[in-house]
Amino acid sequence: MGSGFAFGNLNAENLFVCNDYEEGWTASVLTFFICGDAGVVIHKTNDYLNEISGQNSLEFGSAMETEEWPANQRIFRVQICMEPSFLKSYGSNQLDSLPLQLKNLIEGNKQEDFILPGTTTPAMQLAIGQILTCPYRMEKARQLLCEGKLSVATVANIVGYANTGHFAVAFKRKFSISPSACRLGEKPTI
């Protein structure tokens, strides 16, 4: 992957932050390793992958993996999921620079699982920042909480927060009320 392809203007409807993978997964996962280093064993192939800060990987498939890292080391990574159809909207000159495996997915061809490692460029770092601060995430959270059907933890997970406390702080900063109060019917400041 490396620096050969940039995603241009990100559309929150087509990209989403990954939390859990489900059976029958069809999306590709672009992972950015922000801090901390880990080793990963991919069970299907017995391959070993080093996940290192400043690196990224593009993967497709449902192979189980085991991650290992030193005790007391914090790992921070951002995983962005893309349906292959997302890339169909790009011009052929941009698609030409894609790896063959990703082109196969876009064209609907059968593709074996793959992992393509790369180096995170400054442009990619900027894109990560835009994704993490995307106003769409909090607006989606507000809508889900106002419906009152899902728990705060579930909503936090849906919009890409692994830590409910961090989500609550960000939500309150944006809307001046807690997610729990919003869920119970209090109207947030928009």
What global pTM score does this model have?
A: 0.60
Q: Which residue has the higher pLDDT, 174 or 48?
A: 174
Q: What percentage of the chain exceeds 90 in pLDDT?
A: 18
**Is the pLDDT confidence value at 23 over 60?**
no
Which stretches within the chain are classed as H helix? 92-95, 100-106, 122-132, 135-147, 152-158, 164-175, 179-183
Task: Give exposure, 175-184, as e/b (b: 16+ Cβ within 10 Å).
Answer: bebbbebbbe
Determine the distance from the C-alpha atom of residue 29 to the mean position of all C-alpha atoms in its chain, rounded to a whole number: 7
Cα–Cα separations (whole angstroms), residue 164 to 120, 155, 161: 28, 9, 7
Contact between residue 116 and residue 101 where contact means Cβ atoms under 8 Å apart: yes
Contact between residue 29 and residue 75 where contact means Cβ atoms under 8 Å apart: no
**Is the pLDDT confidence value at 18 over 80?**
no
Which of 16, 59, 51 lies closest to 34, judged by CA? 51
- Best mean pLDDT range from 11-15, 35-39, 167-171: 167-171
Set out the domains of the chain in order of their start, with CATH numbers: 15-132 (2.60.120.810), 135-183 (1.10.10.60)
**Rounded to 10 degrees, what is the CA torsion of 142, 170, 151, 148?**
-20
pLDDT per residue as tens digits for the range 150-172: 999 999 888 878 789 989 999 99
**Is the pLDDT confidence value at 61 over 80?**
no
Q: Is the dihedral of CA 93, 95, 99, 104 positive or negative?
A: negative
Q: Which residue has the higher pLDDT, 3 or 93?
A: 93
pLDDT band for 68, please (50, 70, 90 cuts). confident
Separation of alpha carbons 83 and 56, rounded Å: 18
Contacts of 112 (CB under 8 A, 6+ apart): 61, 101
Per-residue pLDDT at 81 = 74
pLDDT per residue as tens digits for the range 80-138: 777 777 777 777 777 777 788 888 888 878 878 888 888 888 888 887 777 777 778 88
Query: Phi first, then psi: what are they for 30, rounded to 5°?
Result: -105, 115
Q: In terms of C-beta density within 10 A (0-12 exposed, 13-18 middle, 19 or more buried), how is residue 133 classed?
A: exposed
Q: What would the mean pLDDT of 175-186 be, rounded to a whole number?
A: 94
